[in-house]
């Protein structure tokens, strides 16, 4: 175990080739690093744990594991636990394994090539994901997330969101700022959109549960599109499907009142139906 004293939030970077990274934020005034072999009975894991370098460089704590090419058999795996003060800025890189970030953190960048990522609460977030599951509960500000295959679930994003996925489902519960979401193959499900969105989907259905205001653009190729418009929001529709039905329960009126929220909905899809209806958050 290695401990470094800090007066306030710290800056931490953790980089390993294989294993598990846990960063836990709490009301402490130091950074504590614990390293152990993933399998204490395995010589390669013990050697890798002993080879992890932990150092403080200025205001940064660096945790760097050894990188060895495993041609035959499993690679050498380590478990790293870093406890930090709340609001600390964190960078992680894990090529094979899981990364878990718990507590309230500051600016976070996470690179995960193969494996899962779980994030509790951060100020700003950048994720470079590869193949695996992403679960992000709360981002106070902006978020930029990408992955190649697997799945992505985001709870709340308080700022803007940019999310790209190649293969796998995407679920976002709420975005306060403008959103850009794109997927090559996989469903896209968005909850409450507070400032509009641009959505692109090649193969997969698109569902927007609660569009509140702004401009919503959906460009789909294969898959149904369903949009829910917040009750009380005046909406302008521009929707078309080349090979599919268009349905809406909305009725024409004279236009928005001065105190009404307004929303533009533009939807284009090739093969699939389009449905636009009302959403009542009280129900």
Q: How many CB atoms lie within 10 A of CB 53?
A: 11
> Where do the structural domains in the chain lie, given as residue ranges?
141-283
Q: What is the DSSP letter of 86?
A: T
Determine the pLDDT at residue 169.
97
pLDDT at residue 257 greater than cutoff 80 = no
**Of residues 283 and 107, more confidently modeled:** 107
Determine the pLDDT at residue 71.
56
d(CA 266, CA 259) in angstroms, rounded, equals 23
Question: Residue 196: which of 175, 182, 221 has the closest Cα?
Answer: 175
Q: What is the DSSP letter of 75?
A: P
d(CA 200, CA 7) in angstroms, rounded, equals 45
Determine the pLDDT at residue 277.
95
Question: Residue 92: which of 79, 104, 101 has the closest Cα?
Answer: 101
Q: Which of 50-54, 208-212, 254-258 has the lowest mean pLDDT?
A: 254-258
Structure tokens at 92: 């992680």
- Residue 172's Cβ-side half-sphere holds a number of Cα atoms within 13 Å equal to 34
CA triple 155-283-218, angle to 5 deg: 55
By the 10 Å C-beta count (0-12 exposed, 13-18 middle, 19+ buried), 50 is classed as exposed
Structure tokens at 219: 């460009």
**What's the whole-model pTM score?**
0.93
Determine the pLDDT at residue 30.
97
């Amino acid at each position: 175990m290695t401990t470094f004293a800090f007066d306030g939030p710290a800056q931490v970077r953790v980089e390993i080739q294989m294993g598990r990274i846990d960063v836990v934020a709490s009301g402490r005034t130091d950074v504590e690093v614990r390293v152990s072999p993933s399998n204490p009975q395995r010589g390669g894991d013990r050697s890798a744990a002993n080879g992890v370098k932990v150092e403080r460089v200025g205001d940064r704590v660096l945790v760097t594991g050894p990188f060895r090419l495993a041609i035959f058999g499993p690679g050498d795996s380590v478990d790293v636990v870093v406890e930090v003060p709340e609001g600390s800025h964190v960078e992680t890189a894990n090529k094979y394994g899981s990364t878990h970030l718990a507590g309230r953190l500051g600016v976070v960048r996470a690179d995960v090539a193969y494996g899962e990522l779980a994030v509790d609460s951060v100020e700003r977030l950048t994720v470079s994901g590869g193949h695996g599951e992403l679960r992000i509960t709360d981002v106070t500000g902006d978020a930029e997330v990408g992955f190649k295959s697997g799945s992505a679930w985001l709870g709340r994003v308080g700022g803007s969101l940019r999310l790209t996925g190649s293969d796998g489902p995407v679920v976002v519960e709420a975005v306060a700022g403008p959103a850009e979401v794109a997927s090559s193959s996989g469903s896209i499900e968005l909850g409450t959109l507070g400032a509009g969105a641009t959505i692109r989907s090649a193969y997969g259905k698109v569902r927007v549960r609660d569009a509140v205001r702004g401009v919503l653009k959906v460009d789909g190729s294969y898959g149904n599109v369903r949009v829910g418009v917040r009750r009380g929001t005046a909406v302008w529709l521009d929707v078309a499907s080349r090979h599919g039905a268009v349905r809406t329960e909305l009725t024409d009126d004279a236009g928005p009142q001065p105190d009404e929220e307004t929303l533009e909905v533009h939807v284009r899809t090739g093969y699939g139906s389009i449905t636009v209806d009302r959403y009542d958050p009280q129900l």
